[in-house]
């Protein structure tokens, strides 16, 4: 408990999906991104995550008084904040 983890689900493929064409690159990229976020650039990621959470909190609060508005933040270059 309390350990970082990522979960990526691929529909219709078995446990050995990494051996399928194109899947090794996707898996290696996921592992590299996880390592960057949780080992190499922890502080930078935590700052960006805090900013994203604050943005969402502001948007949710504003939505309650101003009617329906998009809640999705823009995506950044590193993919840390994904578009909806």
Q: Model-level pTM?
A: 0.56
> Where along the chain do its domains lie?
17-65
Unique residue bearing structure tokens 């939505």: 63
Give percent of the chain with pLDDT exceeding 90.
Answer: 26
Split at pLDDT 50, 70, 90, the class of 72 is: low
pLDDT digits (tens, 9 = 90+) for 21-36: 888 898 899 999 999 9
Length of the chain: 84
Query: If DSSP codes are grouped into helix, strand and coil, which group holds residue 83?
Result: coil
pLDDT digits (tens, 9 = 90+) for 43-56: 998 999 899 999 99
């Amino acid at each position: 408990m309390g350990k970082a983890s990522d979960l990526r689900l691929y529909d219709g493929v078995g446990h050995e999906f990494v051996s399928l064409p194109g899947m090794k690159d996707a898996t290696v990229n996921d592992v590299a991104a996880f390592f960057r976020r949780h080992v190499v650039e922890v502080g930078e990621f935590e700052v960006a995550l805090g900013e994203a959470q604050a943005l969402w909190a502001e948007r949710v609060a504003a939505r309650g008084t101003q009617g329906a508005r998009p809640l999705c933040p823009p995506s950044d270059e590193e993919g840390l904040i994904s578009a909806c």
